[in-house]
Amino acid sequence: MKCSATALDGVFLLEPQVFEDERGFFYESYNARRFHEATGLAPDFVQDNHSRSRRGVVRGLHYQVGVPQGKLVRVIAGSVYDVVVDLRRSSPTFGQSMGAELSSQNRRQLWVPPGCAHGFVTLSEQAECLYKTAGYWSPRHERTLLWNDPALGIDWPLPGEPILSAKDQAGTPLAQAEVFA
């Protein structure tokens, strides 16, 4: 597994070793020992989530206060532009964002540490995302950061007008958001 640090403190882009031949391919999508060796982390994954979205759907930017979740995100069909925003005041990259394309072709994964908001826009006709979470989803602790807050400076590669849920349309700007110590 190749592990690359990103512009955000504690956010990693992971690329598995893929064995491919005329039959198809095989790779380990997760191995706790290799993940720890590459990142120094040993998250306790307690939940797997699976979403499917059509082109132009923006999901996020979601995070949880009180019971923050770490997430290991990958795409098994299609392509997304995945975004992380650092909401940890004690972090040297607080308030900053980064993005990366995750796709079924590049097989990259993104580690989103607890204390960060996460979201994506679907680039392909459809995309299916799988993500492991270190922490259970808690509706009463969930918060949404405004996806297009100018203070975040996210350059979303939108193919037109975004398709948003009511919750994501009503996100909170960073200046008013609940953040982490």
Catalytic positions are 62, 131
> What is the number of other CB atoms lying within 10 angstroms of the CB of residue 142?
15
Structure tokens at 150: 């100018």
> What is the number of other CB atoms lying within 10 angstroms of the CB of residue 118?
23
**127, 53 in Cβ contact below 8 A?**
yes
Distances, alpha carbon 114 to alpha carbons 25, 102, 146, in Å: 32, 20, 18
Asked if omega into 61 is within 30° of 0 (cis), the reply is yes
Q: Cβ neighbours of residue 55 under 8 Å, at least 6 residues apart?
A: 122, 123, 124, 125, 126, 159
Rounded CA gap, 119 and 107, in Å? Answer: 18
